[in-house]
Amino acid sequence: MRYLPHTSEEIAAMLAAIGKPTIDDLFEQVPKEARLGRPLAIAPPLDEASLMRHLDELSRKNRGAELVSFLGAGAYDHPIPPAVDQLLLRSEFYTSYTPYQPEVAQGTLQAIFEFQTLVSELFGLPVANASMYEAASAAAEAVLMAQRLTRRERVILSEGVHPHYRQTIETYLQGIGRGKAAITNVAIGEDGQADANVIERLAGPEHAAVVVGYPNFYGGIADVGRIAEIAHRHGALLITVTQEPFALSVLEAPGLLGADIAVGEGQPLGIPLGFGGPYAGLFACRDGRDFLQQVPGRLVGEAVDKNGERGYVLTLATREQHIRRERATSNICTNAGLCALAITIRMCMLGKRGFVEAGRQCLAKAEYLKAQIQRLPGYSLVYPRIPTFNEFAVRVRGGNAARVVAALEPQGFLAGLDLGRLSEQRRDQLLVATTERLRREDIDGFVKALDSV
């Protein structure tokens, strides 16, 4: 009765109050052909002890926790200290939803302000918002923002941007001007990068933005500085998308290379994998009134109260729930506050030195794994000349990446992403990633398992 609290007597009383004899009469407006017509095919209810035992049995079928993961593709298995969860369990944090009366919630606003500061430093851009849902919607919001700022429609979109992010951008653009037709896709070249020469040839006065991955979906690191120069010469904005923010521990910040808007995925910075969510999107942009007024979501600022004490305020809230719909920059409902707080706590625990050290470990382990894989007969790098951070594409022996993934699971490894799931032309390719969690023996064991296929 914990989850179905109404007794049959209470149900009868409520039906009598509204003049309906039965539950079926309550739904008489639903056509009969649309009704199920039979009980749901589920097992009968269990008492609490039996239910907990049943759930425990089901949980033992999940093998993810005991597998050594080389899976990335936008979600990365970085270690998260237990202290992060313990701090999030403070009731003033985990019970707060969204600051509708923000100035009362000074602690929440301060945490968001600290998060914004971290994102600003990470991307090398002065303005950061109070987080978004995840990187996919952040990238789509960045494109819409670029269209508003430039009053142009067309977008050059590198296929090195995560395919799910690209699909989200296409969905957001549906019904706006030319919709999906406004997007010009730039393929990844043989060097694993969006070809700057192709972008140069395509760019024109009708383009609002150029969108590139940094690093891209296949791990490659683009010449952001050159692409920024091309975009700006044609009056377009450069948007960078970073699905693995630990890469920015060793790479130049995109803002310092000329990016106008930078977005990314916050999950690797302190959020458990969690079967795909909830995550938090990172969003930062250039300074200036035009940019500031077009930032989606919320932005928290620091102020001084009448007594001269430091305080925090909701400086900007340009979403539908706060201002007139026609003037709203987005309809984002929340700022994923608890996830943003987890990122803030984790990053503060790491500190600048710890962040850089974690990034160096990711890079070193990826380079070691690359070298070992290239020694295996029948295996090779898809893009051998491109610099990468912690992720890269491998061409597998036998030409069937799905078979490799299936063969390695019983040996205790999540081998990576079978790229054939995204493109038939890439069915022989495997996308693998490393994090600082991996040990040398994990990598050696993985290489040995690859060689056994």
As a whole number, the mean pLDDT across the chain is: 91
Output the pLDDT for position 113: 95
Ranges 100-114, 286-300, 412-426, most confident: 412-426
- Would you state the pLDDT for residue 312? 92
Cα angle 426-430-433, degrees, rounded to a multiple of 5: 140
Pair (312, 415) in one structural domain = no
Residue 19 confidence class, pLDDT cut points 50, 70, 90: very high
pLDDT value at residue 319: 66
CATH assignment of the domain containing 379 = 3.90.1150.10
Q: pLDDT band for position 391 (50/70/90)?
A: very high
User: What local confidence, expressed as pLDDT, does residue 164 receive?
Assistant: 96
User: Which residue among 330, 345, 360 closes a domain?
Assistant: 345
Q: What is the pLDDT of residue 100?
A: 66
The answer as to whether 2 is a domain residue is no
User: Would residue 256 count as lying in a domain?
Assistant: yes
Q: Are residues 68 and 53 in the same domain?
A: no
Considering the domain architecture, whether residues 340 and 222 belong to the same structural domain is answered as yes
pLDDT exceeds 70 at position 422: yes
Quote the pLDDT of residue 261.
Answer: 98
pLDDT at 93: 82
Q: Which residues are 68's β-sheet partners?
A: 413
Strand 380-381 relative to strand 391-395: parallel, antiparallel, unpaired? Answer: antiparallel
The strand pair at 429-433 and 237-242 is best described as unpaired
Task: State mean pLDDT over 245-252.
Answer: 97
Q: What is the dihedral of CA 82, 88, 90, 95, to 10 degrees?
A: -150
Asked which of 345, 364, 395 is the last residue of a domain, the reply is: 345
Same domain, 314 and 374: no
Q: What percent of the chain has pLDDT over 90?
A: 68
Number of domains in the chain: 3
In a domain, 1, yes or no: no
Please check whether residues 18 and 106 belong to one and the same domain: no
Q: State the Cα–Cα distance between residues 179 and 140, nearest whole angstrom.
A: 12
Q: 107 and 193 share a domain?
A: yes
pLDDT for 270 equals 95
Residue-level pLDDT at 440? 96
Question: Rg (Cα) of the chain, in Å, rounded?
Answer: 25
Structural domain harbouring 39: 13-57
User: Is 6 within a domain?
Assistant: no
Which of the pair, 36 or 94, is modelled with greater confidence?
Answer: 36
- The average pLDDT across 223-231 equals 95
Find the mean pLDDT for residues 239-255.
97
Domain annotation covers residue 265? yes
pLDDT at 96 over 80: no
Q: Is residue 371 a part of any domain in this protein?
A: yes
Report how far apart, in Å, the C-alpha atoms of 155 and of each of 145, 194, 204, 207 are: 12, 14, 10, 6
Q: Does residue 399 fall inside a structural domain?
A: yes
Query: Residue 39: which pLDDT band, with cuts at 50, 70 and 90?
Result: confident
Residues 103 and 32 in one domain: no
Within 300-374, residue ranges assigned H as helices are 337-374
| Same-domain status, 47 and 104 | no
The answer to whether residue 178 scores a pLDDT higher than 80 is: yes
Query: Looking at the structure, do residues 336 and 368 belong to the same domain, yes or no?
Result: no
Domain contains 255: yes
Give the tens place of pLDDT for each residue, 399-415: 999 999 999 999 999 99
Residues 337, 442 within the same domain: no
Residue 293's pLDDT is 87
pLDDT at residue number 46: 87
Q: Which residue matches tokens 């683009």?
A: 222
* Residue 342 pLDDT class (50, 70, 90 cuts): very high
Q: How far apart are CA 69 and CA 76, in angstroms?
A: 9
pLDDT tens-digit series, residues 59-68: 888 766 678 9
